[in-house]
């Protein structure tokens, strides 16, 4: 694969986070995507969220499939663990890595083709199992890398660059994630960094399956009139349900809003999400309500964005399976191989 390394120098005055790192320490190689591609803005938001959270880059495992979107982990967190897997197989590779080493922060990056077409089954099973991860789909409604065929998230009735109409119904990954039990579900837009950065930060701190669908226009193949994933269309049809502020554990709460306009969610680890309600009736703790809200607005052609659902009492796959606290790569031989007497006992119990 071709790549362009970024020059190492940086301005001495760049702001530093609690670890003494600047934004540059969270960057990767220079992007080779088309100028204006929404995916590059998502990369910038991931860098910003990790900088703000003062994450040690070596504690992150970024895993992707195949596609322009799946190339992006090369463009952020250059000092993290990374695995560019097979088309549609990111979720199973991530699940396996997570079970082997629970101490890392798992960032799954995928595309709408990668997750809603070939990898649809893998997406579904990783979500329903509650794998502790931040799963981001960079959703442009097309297979960008293979020259713009409709993907399974393309809306029925939308048109491709040549004016051909899509006659298939769309898969809404947010609706599916809600139905499958994801404990953190959000939708955002690559062009709205103010909304996206705190969503990514909150998802990273969330325990369990956190899913974010980010509408990310493909300027080469899906940014024309007739597309429902173009910059212009998304700006005109974006219905934000809430605006989010994310407070890491150590920060004092400084934001203050009038009562009635704010919902506060404290997550497992003490981090807090403050949601300024835009839609007065929206309750992000109501899974069924979120599903019907989404459908009602989709029927009107509106794209609902914001934090749509969060379960502050969420659990993850490790709690479900009651696995050991120690990552497998740190267990000694004695723990990993308890001997033939233990094996005989298991065999006897199965006879």
Ligand X SMILES: Cc1ncc(C[n+]2csc(CCOP(=O)(O)OP(=O)(O)O)c2C)c(N)n1
Residue 297 CA to residue 299 CA, distance in Å, equals 5
Q: Which is nearer to ligand SF4, 223 or 271 (CB)?
A: 223
Of 21 and 221, CB closest to Mg ion: 221
Closest-by-Cβ residue to Mg ion is 111
Give the CA angle between residues 47, 52, 54 to the nearest 5°.
Answer: 95
Number of residues that bind ligand SF4 (CB under 6 A): 12
Report the site for ligand X in 59-118 (rule: CB under 6 A). Answer: 66-69, 87, 111-114, 118
| Residue 140 lies near ligand SF4 (rule: CB under 6 A) | yes
* Residue 34 contact among ligand SF4, Mg ion, ligand X, none, beta carbon within 5 to 8 Å by kind: ligand SF4
In contact, 180 and 173? CB cutoff 8 Å: no
Half-sphere exposure of 275 (CA within 13 A, CB side): 25
**Candidates 18-26, 215-223, 226-234, 274-282; binding stretch for ligand SF4 (CB under 6 A):** 215-223
Q: Which residues bind Mg ion (CB under 5 A)?
A: 111-113, 140, 144
CA distance 150 to 209: 27
Asked if 284 interacts with ligand X (CB under 6 A), we say no
Q: Does 150 bind ligand SF4 (CB under 6 A)?
A: no
Q: 341: burial class by Cβ within 10 Å (0-12, 13-18, 19+)?
A: exposed
Tokens found for residue 108: 């799954």
Q: CB nearer to ligand SF4: give 75 or 282.
A: 75
Stretch that binds ligand SF4, among 128-136, 170-178, 180-188, 217-225 (CB under 6 A): 217-225
Q: CB–CB of 22/67 below 8 Å?
A: no
205 forms part of the interface with ligand X (CB under 6 A): no
* The two structure tokens encoding residue 1: 């694969």
Q: Which of 37, 154, 176, 273 binds ligand SF4 (CB under 6 A)?
A: 37
**Sequence-separated (6 or more) residues with CB below 8 Å from residue 194:** 243
When CB distances are held under 5 to 8 angstroms depending on the partner's kind, the choice from ligand X, ligand SF4, Mg ion, none that residue 192 binds is none
Q: Pick from 76, 135, 143, 150 the residue near ligand X by CB under 6 A.
A: 143
The span from the CA of 326 to the CA of 335, in Å, is: 11
Decide whether 144 or 306 has the Cβ nearer to Mg ion.
144
Binding test (CB under 6 A) with ligand SF4, winner from 46, 60, 68, 105: 68
**Is 28 near ligand X (CB under 6 A)?**
no
E strand segments, the chain: 60-64, 81-84, 105-111, 133-139, 142-143, 149-150, 184-189, 209-215, 238-240, 242-247, 262-266, 272-277, 303-310
Binding-site ranges for ligand X (CB under 6 A): 66-69, 87, 111-114, 118, 138, 140, 142-146, 151
User: Which residues are at the interface with ligand SF4 (CB under 6 A)?
Assistant: 33-34, 37, 39, 68, 140, 144-145, 218-221
């Amino acid at each position: 694969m071709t790549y362009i390394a970024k020059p190492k120098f940086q301005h001495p005055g760049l702001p530093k986070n609690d670890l003494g790192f600047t934004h540059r320490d969270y960057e990767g190689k220079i992007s080779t995507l088309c100028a204006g591609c929404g995916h590059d803005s998502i990369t910038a938001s991931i860098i910003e969220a990790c900088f703000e959270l003062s994450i040690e880059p070596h504690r992150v495992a970024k895993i992707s499939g195949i596609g322009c979107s799946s190339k992006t982990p090369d463009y952020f967190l250059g000092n993290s663990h990374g695995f560019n897997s097979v088309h549609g197989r990111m979720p199973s590779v991530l699940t396996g890595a997570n079970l082997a080493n629970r101490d890392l922060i798992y960032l799954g990056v995928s595309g709408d083709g990668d997750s809603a077409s070939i990898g649809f089954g893998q997406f579904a099973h990783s979500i329903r199992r509650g794998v502790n991860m931040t799963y981001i789909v960079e959703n442009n409604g097309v297979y960008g890398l293979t020259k713009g065929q409709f993907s399974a998230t393309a809306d029925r009735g939308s048109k491709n660059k040549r004016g051909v109409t899509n006659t298939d119904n769309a898969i809404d990954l947010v609706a599916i994630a809600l139905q499958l039990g994801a404990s953190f579900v959000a939708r955002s837009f690559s062009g709205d960094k103010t909304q996206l950065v705190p969503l990514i930060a909150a998802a990273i701190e969330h325990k369990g399956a956190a899913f974010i669908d980010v509408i990310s226009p493909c300027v080469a193949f899906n940014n024309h009139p007739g597309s429902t994933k173009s910059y212009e269309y998304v700006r005109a049809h974006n219905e934000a349900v809430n605006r989010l502020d994310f407070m890491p554990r150590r920060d004092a709460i400084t934001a203050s809003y009038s009562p009635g306009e704010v919902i506060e969610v404290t997550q497992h680890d003490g981090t807090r999400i403050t949601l300024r309600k835009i839609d007065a009736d929206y309750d992000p703790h109501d899974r069924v309500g979120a599903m019907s809200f989404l459908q009602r607005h989709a029927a009107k052609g509106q794209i609902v964005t914001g934090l749509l659902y969060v379960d502050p009492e969420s659990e993850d796959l490790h709690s479900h399976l009651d696995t050991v606290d120690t990552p497998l790569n740190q267990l000694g031989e004695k723990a990993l191989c308890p001997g033939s007497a233990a094996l005989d006992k298991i065999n006897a119990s199965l006879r």
